[in-house]
């Protein structure tokens, strides 16, 4: 299953304006007045967003998923004849043999990606909303940013997510029963592998990015930053945020995978003792943090002036290094090869120990 994101764009050499004035109430009492921009690439000299009620900016999300499963059984029964002489005596004669095989595997992959909503003004970006401005997966850039929000201002970064799961199991069993001769025995093996990978990381950080003109933002209610930034290239004296209350939080990014595999085999010709070979797990992990941050400048939290509280304690002012995104570290093909190499090395090592024990005349348990 897959979803394709189609990019939509709007551009204008002058002033690009989005305005929602609302109107008479409909049957549900809704008067309108909202502006929703979703996965839109917007570019102009100046951009004006003017919503009577809410301004909402969202990314366009795309989900991809694939899943495969397989099972196979086989059985063979027959007669054998002939043989050869060896240390244990003649294995000639004839008898009945049976061979059984079984295998199953499953692979599942899912991913969630985002096409960011962008506002890009070479001059001034003006945002007005009578109620709330809620931007998620949205990047707003302009030389100068001016915003007046009647309600709450919320900025939220989004994570791209990958999930991979793989399992496989296979086994073989062979047996021989001699009717004439002494070629009676059995052998078999069981092989398994399992791989898990998880990835979640912000790629592009939601935020208001001002240039040399700085930012002037007034919020009538609460300002909330969730792994987002209000950045500026201007002198701190040109950056101002005035809000009733403020809150902020970081987003933890992670990338990790683990792959294990092993075999178990036996052969009555070798004493019938099971020979396990479990590979050392192949694994790796990485972590990062997408911080909320506001560029140096003036931040007025009106409620703090009344309560004496410092709501800005712990807020980062470093917007340049706030993203903390992670690259993908998992490669299914390479990890599978590492597991197979580990199994092979284990088998060779087990055989080498067995050869040495036989040469030395060691017995089991010595």
Torsion, Cα 9 11 15 20, to 10 degrees, reads: -20
Which pLDDT belongs to residue 318? 97
Q: Give me the helices (H) in the chain, please.
A: 302-307, 332-360
Query: Does the pLDDT at position 143 exceed 90?
Result: yes
Which pLDDT belongs to residue 311? 96
- What does 114-140 look like in DSSP terms, one character per residue? EE-EEEEEEEEEEEEESS-EEEESEEE
Which pLDDT belongs to residue 357? 47
pLDDT level of residue 7 (50, 70, 90 thresholds) = low
What are 228-252's pLDDT values in tens digits?
999 999 999 999 999 999 999 999 9
Query: Does the pLDDT at position 4 exceed 60?
Result: no
Which pLDDT belongs to residue 29? 63
Instruction: Give yes or no for a contact between 155 and 176, defined as CB atoms under 8 angstroms apart.
Output: no
Task: Give the H or E element holding residue 269.
Answer: none
**pTM attached to this predicted model:** 0.80
- Give the CA angle between residues 291, 295, 296 to the nearest 5°: 130
pLDDT level of residue 363 (50, 70, 90 thresholds) = very low
Distance CA 195, CA 21 (A): 54
Read off the DSSP letter of residue 314.
T
Q: How far is CA 118 from the centre of its chain?
A: 23
What are 163-177's pLDDT values in tens digits?
999 999 999 999 888
Higher pLDDT, 72 or 89: 72
Which pLDDT belongs to residue 281? 82
The bridge status of strand 89-90 relative to strand 85-86 is antiparallel
Query: Does the pLDDT at position 347 exceed 50?
Result: yes
- Give the mean model confidence (pLDDT) for residues 333-338: 80
- Give the mean model confidence (pLDDT) for residues 19-36: 77
Which pLDDT belongs to residue 262? 85
Residue 18's nearest CA partner among 7, 38, 154, 5 is 38
Residue with tokens 């305005």: 19
Q: How does the average pLDDT of the chain come out, rounded?
A: 87
């Amino acid at each position: 299953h897959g979803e394709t994101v189609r990019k939509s764009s709007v551009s204008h050499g002058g002033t690009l304006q989005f305005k929602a004035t609302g109107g008479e109430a409909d049957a549900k009492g809704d008067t309108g007045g909202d502006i929703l921009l979703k996965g839109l690439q917007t570019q102009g000299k100046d951009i004006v967003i003017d919503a009577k009620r809410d301004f909402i900016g969202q990314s366009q999300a795309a989900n991809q998923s694939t899943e495969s499963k397989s099972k196979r059984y086989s059985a063979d029964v027959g007669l054998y004849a002939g043989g050869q002489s060896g240390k244990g005596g003649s294995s000639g004669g004839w008898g009945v043999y049976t061979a059984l095989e079984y295998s199953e595997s499953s692979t599942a992959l899912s991913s969630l990606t985002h096409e960011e909503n962008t506002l890009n003004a070479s001059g001034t970006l003006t945002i007005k909303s009578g109620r709330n401005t809620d931007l998620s997966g949205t990047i707003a850039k302009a030389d100068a940013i001016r915003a007046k929000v009647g309600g709450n201002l919320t900025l939220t970064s989004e994570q791209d997510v990958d999930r991979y799961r793989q399992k496989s199991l296979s086994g073989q069993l062979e047996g021989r029963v001699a009717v004439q001769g002494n070629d009676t025995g059995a052998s078999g093996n069981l092989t398994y592998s399992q791989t898990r990978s998880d990835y979640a990381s912000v790629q592009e950080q939601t935020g208001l990015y001002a240039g040399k003109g700085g930012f002037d933002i007034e919020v009538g209610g609460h300002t909330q930053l969730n792994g987002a930034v209000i950045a500026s290239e201007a002198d701190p004296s040109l950056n101002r945020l005035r809000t009733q209350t403020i809150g902020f939080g970081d987003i933890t990014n992670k990338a990790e995978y683990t792959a294990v595999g092993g075999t178990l085999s036996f052969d009555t010709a070798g004493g019938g003792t099971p020979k396990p070979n479990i590979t050392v797990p192949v694994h790796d992990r990485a972590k990062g943090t997408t911080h909320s941050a506001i560029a140096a400048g003036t931040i007025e939290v009106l409620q703090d002036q009344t309560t004496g509280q410092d709501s800005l304690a712990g807020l980062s002012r470093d917007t340049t290094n706030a993203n903390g995104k992670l690259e993908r570290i998992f490669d299914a093909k390479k990890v599978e090869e590492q597991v197979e190499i580990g199994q092979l090395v284990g088998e060779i090592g087990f055989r080498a120990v067995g050869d040495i024990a036989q040469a030395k005349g060691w017995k089991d348990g010595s």
